[in-house]
Amino acid sequence: MKLRTYLMKRTFHMIITILIVLVLLFVLYRMMPGSAAASMMMNPKMTQNEINQVMVRYGFGQWADYPGEYKTANLAPETVGRYSITVTATDDAGQTDTIETYIDVDALPEMDYVSPRVLDIGFSNAVLGQKGEFYLHAYDIGAMRSVEAVITYPNETESADGGFYTEKFIMNQLNNMTDAANGSYYYTGITPGVLTSSYDGNANFKITFSATDRARNVGTASMSFNATTGTVINKLWGTWVNIPFSITDETYSYYSVGDTVQLTSKALGAAPTISMAMSDLELVPVTTVADAVNNYNGSFSLPENGILTLTAQAGGIYSNFSFPVNSDETVPPAPSAEGTSTSPNMGDLVISVLNEQDKEVPTPNYPYVLSTLRLRINATATDADGVMCSNVTAIVVRPDGSSSSILLKHPNYVEMRSMAAQFVTYMKTMLVFDFGTSYIYQRPAWDVILDRVPSTALLFGMAMIVSDVLGIIIGVIVAWRRGTVLEMGTIIVTLFFYSMPIFWFALIMQWVFYAQLDWFPLAGMGGITPDGVKLEGLTWFLDVMWHLTMPLITLVILGLAGTILLMRSSMLEVIGEDFTTTAKAKGLKERTVVFKHVARNAMLPVVTSMAMSIGSIISGGVLTETIFSWYGMGTLLIEGTLSKDFPVVQGAFYILALLTIFGNMAADLLYAWLDPRVQL
């Protein structure tokens, strides 16, 4: 048969073989009882949504709509307050219908939403030509995170961003004056630059302090001063609303809508304007009364829920204190009346609370508490023909007045597909080497495999070539010198190494060449210095070869034994053939008879063994790579198996099968070249 014809037929056979391999892999991994096959592909840490995506990705199932005419969207509130929700449906003719509702989100008593209280601020040095030195004393039940200050210079020329020249600097905590157990914290800070007046001699500065606690709540205080005289002009601090706290339970008793709170703010200089900023920053004036020690006291009836901020302002400076206000409602509000238009027609609007498994909580408490709150918006909208509208959106207005639009979608689930449909999807992905995404490395499994192939090919490829070449030569010599001491000694040594476990021999190699002689490194692939610097050029090559030597010797010695025994046995069979006797009778040299006639024909079984061992170049030796920390396919397979990284393991097995198939084809070609009696 001509070579071209053979290759065409062999290619057809390989395609059939590959399909059979894929069918066997499919049967092995997919046709297990129940959901065992699917569970092999699931990471225990995956969410239900991620599991559904994997089920669809690998053809186990397909997305299907839940029955019904409703649509949903998820909402995760980020702050305390009232959220207004308006759902609008639009039909194909562009007509709309809306339905509205709102939800109140309260502060969890165990969570800290209260600003630190600034007890005092001031300076120890504020003189022109020198750096300013400032201090701050704060109180917080939790723990402080940081304090920063912004100083504004008396510069009449505005900076590029439209404001006066400012400098920001961090205040440092004084440990010897701080009593964290009782919530008392002291900070000091120095300006980055010296204090300088403006060109007209103005030396009036402003400085604002922002104290942030561990829960990222911020309390502020400010003052203005003259750096020529070193005196305070205006000062605002101690702005505060008393929020009861239980030390025993470590919980706050947050106020609700309608409660009256007592408030205070300290001021020096001009009388401040006290107001309460609502969640949307609208200011509501607060009436206060001043006492003899610069305290401005008052009371305020809380009009709404959300994060409210008590603010004091005077002479261009300010002081703030924020705290949460909970809702006074106990039952969820009813949505506005159902839509009345013919098309589209809005039906029910329901807000549901979800648990960690994305399941709806049957009877949640109201108002909802922030914490890890997740909500689901359910709405029904149909057109004039009773068909579900495709365009349904929700406008969510947050407590601060900002809004966002959310597209509602019809919920779906994963519907398990038939085994035939799974097989079609499986074949499509595998034939294009699309093994999916590795669970461990979060990269395509194909890329992960390719990263490990070069190191395994280097080690096991070199080991196979060296052991096969040496094994063939030694096997020929031993067989031709049969009955001699050389043959007996070679067989004994060969059988000794052939029967030795590879892990035991590898440990012996490490003990001799590393622990005793210190000739080679214990493990690793090399290429980098002990400090982690990557080597380059010839230095990199020599370092890799140095690390390669010990595992290479281990594999060569153990692989050599099998090749020698196989070549010797094959040689002994061929030596008795008639063509060997004929070659001797012709008077040919002994070397010619041995290598050109006998050895060439005796290599056929060895070629088969070599073809079958090609797969080891990819699969690697799990034990060898593990013992010598050689990060190739062997370690990848054991990592993937132990961690149930199904895409990587399946892809590696598939590549291994392909290499074995191509190795058999190469063996057929070598057969025909080595033995003229073999026809393609």
Q: Which helix (H) or strand (E) holds 231?
A: strand 231-241
pLDDT tops 90 at residue 2: no
- pLDDT for residue 311: 97
User: Which residues are CB-contacts of 220 (< 8 A; sequence separation ≥ 6)?
Assistant: 118, 208, 209, 210, 211, 239, 318, 319, 320
Q: In a 3-state reduction of DSSP, which class is residue 670? A: helix
Q: Is the pLDDT higher at 351 or at 647?
A: 351
pLDDT tops 70 at residue 613: no
- pLDDT for residue 485: 77
- pLDDT for residue 586: 62
* d(C-alpha 216, C-alpha 470), whole Å: 71
- Distance of CA 44 to CAs 40, 53, 440, 478, Å? 10, 15, 12, 57
Q: Of 294-303, 348-357, 638-647, give the lowest mean pLDDT range.
A: 638-647
- Which tokens in the block code for residue 477? 């010599």
Contact 339, 346 (CB under 8 A): yes
pLDDT category at 5 given cuts 50, 70, 90 is low
Note the pLDDT tens digit of each residue in 164-214: 788 999 999 999 999 998 999 999 999 998 998 887 788 999 999 999 999
pLDDT tops 80 at residue 232: yes
Cis ω on the peptide bond leading into residue 344 (within 30° of 0)?
Answer: yes
Q: Which helix (H) or strand (E) holds 349?
A: strand 345-353
**Helices 599-613 and 445-480, packing angle to 10 deg:** 160
* d(C-alpha 591, C-alpha 573), whole Å: 18
pLDDT tops 90 at residue 320: yes
Note the pLDDT tens digit of each residue in 238-282: 999 999 999 888 999 999 999 999 999 999 999 999 999 999 889
Q: Is the pLDDT higher at 168 or at 359?
A: 168
User: Which residues are CB-contacts of 56 (< 8 A; sequence separation ≥ 6)?
Assistant: 62, 63, 414
pTM: 0.59
Sheet holding 218-226, edge to edge: 166-170, 144-152, 204-213, 218-226, 231-241, 260-268, 295-301, 288-290
- Which tokens in the block code for residue 679? 């026809």
* d(C-alpha 190, C-alpha 169), whole Å: 7
190, β-bridge pairs: 133
Identify residue 269 by its one-letter amino acid code.
G
**DSSP secondary structure code for residue 512 in this structure:** I
In percent, the amount of the chain with pLDDT more than 70 equals 80
**How do strand 255-256 and strand 317-326 relate by DSSP bridges?**
parallel
Q: In a 3-state reduction of DSSP, which class is residue 344? A: coil
- pLDDT for residue 286: 94
Task: Please state the rounded mean pLDDT for residues 648-662.
Answer: 76
pLDDT tops 80 at residue 678: no
pLDDT tops 60 at residue 162: no
- pLDDT for residue 157: 47
Q: In a 3-state reduction of DSSP, which class is residue 86? A: strand
- pLDDT for residue 655: 77
298, β-bridge pairs: 263, 288
pLDDT category at 34 given cuts 50, 70, 90 is very low
Rg of the Cα atoms in the chain:
40
Q: Is the pLDDT higher at 305 or at 601?
A: 305
pLDDT tops 70 at residue 289: yes
Task: Please state the rounded mean pLDDT for residues 59-80.
Answer: 76
pLDDT tops 80 at residue 41: no
- Distance of CA 156 to CAs 126, 192, 200, 202, Å? 20, 20, 9, 9
Task: Please state the rounded mean pLDDT for residues 75-84.
Answer: 90
pLDDT tops 60 at residue 236: yes
- Distance of CA 600 to CAs 583, 587, 607, 610, Å? 13, 19, 11, 15
**Helices 599-613 and 537-575, packing angle to 10 deg:** 130
Query: What is the phi/psi pair of residue 549, to 5°?
Result: -60, -50
Q: Percentage helix, strand, coil, to 5, in the chain?
A: 35, 30, 35
Instruction: Please compute, for residue 666, the number of CA atoms within 13 A of its CA located in the half-sphere on the CB side.
Output: 16
Q: Among 15-29, 207-221, 434-448, 516-530, name the most confident range.
A: 207-221
Separation of CA 469 from chain center: 47
User: Which residues are CB-contacts of 532 (< 8 A; sequence separation ≥ 6)?
Assistant: none
Identify residue 216 by its one-letter amino acid code.
R
- pLDDT for residue 668: 66
**DSSP secondary structure code for residue 202 in this structure:** -
- Distance of CA 7 to CAs 4, 17, 18, 385, 673, Å? 5, 15, 16, 63, 15
* d(C-alpha 374, C-alpha 107), whole Å: 14
Q: Is the pLDDT higher at 114 or at 157?
A: 114
Note the pLDDT tens digit of each residue in 446-493: 888 887 777 777 777 787 788 778 877 777 777 777 767 776 777 777
Q: Of 34-48, 330-344, 352-366, 407-421, give the lowest mean pLDDT range.
A: 34-48
The number of beta carbons lying within 10 Å of the beta carbon of residue 582 is 12
pLDDT tops 70 at residue 567: yes
Minimal CA–CA distance to 464: which of 550, 563, 549? 563
- pLDDT for residue 302: 95
* d(C-alpha 655, C-alpha 673), whole Å: 27
The number of beta carbons lying within 10 Å of the beta carbon of residue 528 is 13
- pLDDT for residue 278: 93
* d(C-alpha 55, C-alpha 415), whole Å: 9
234, β-bridge pairs: 224
Contact 286, 274 (CB under 8 A): yes
